Amino acid sequence: MRLTRLARAGVAVAAAAAAALAFPTAASAHVTVNPSTAIQGGYTKVTFRVPNEKDTAGTVKLEIAIPTDKPIASVSLRTVPGWTAVTEKGKLATPVKTDDGEITEAVSKITWTADADSAIKPGTFQEFDVSLGPLPETDQIVFKALQTYSDGEVVRWIDEPTAGGEAEHPAPVLKLTKAGAPTATSTGGSAAQDAADTMNDGGSDGTTITLAVLGLILGLAGLVTGVLAYRRAGRTG
């Protein structure tokens, strides 16, 4: 009887640990922009990373809104094989003066649409590169995103950051710093940061990951306890 209880306890702990590890992965898999920081007034290349969160459908469209209240005069896209990109422009309330003259309209939206066989499949992600500049003199740019799945569902990653913590559907945010302040490189940040972003499909809260790892360790400990109890019982018998 004691052996049965110990074995069941070990299995239960392991199952709980596996669930804890799976939860933060799903919760963190949102559309992100990398690097997450750039310099005001400069040019940068950003990458919108789009993970597929569903097991039964692929991602077939991505729409990124670019704010025009503090417009970006130059927006250019890198070709993504299997995807068609279209930009939309909007009139500016206040024209922007540049070396090439006055800008009265700017790109306000980018839409990528997958070809028939190029959808982002379950368990994978895709990256979309955009060159931007000159960046406005503001603290941050919030790129609201819409992710459309092949089954018709549209996930709206449009929640702006708040002091209360991460939102349920956070929008990609590019933080802007003044020239001379430390920031990630315009080609995607440090290697360590890029590796962390890849593991988390866009990053997640470090505390959540730590708790998940601890849960996995506890689960393994429960399994070891069950095995040892089984062996002791065998020797006793």
Residue 99 is predicted with a pLDDT of: 74
Angle at the Cα of 51 (from 109 to 53), degrees rounded to 5? 115
50-93 confidence digits (pLDDT tens): 999 999 999 999 999 999 998 999 999 999 999 999 999 999 88
Which is higher by pLDDT, 73 or 189? 73
CB 113 within 8 Å of CB 82: no
How far apart are the C-alpha atoms of 25 and 29, rounded to whole Å?
A: 6
106-160 confidence digits (pLDDT tens): 999 999 999 999 999 999 999 999 999 999 999 999 999 999 999 999 999 999 9
Given a cut of 50, whether residue 191 has pLDDT beyond it is no
Mean pLDDT of the chain: 78
Residue 98 is predicted with a pLDDT of: 74
pLDDT bucket at 13, cuts 50 / 70 / 90: very low
Given a cut of 70, whether residue 222 has pLDDT beyond it is no
How far apart are the C-alpha atoms of 51 and 29, rounded to whole Å?
A: 6
Q: Specify the residue for token string 């070809």.
A: 115
Residues forming a β-bridge with 86 = 111
CA dihedral 210, 216, 220, 223 (to 10 degrees): 140
80: nearest Cα among 131, 145, 147, 129 = 129
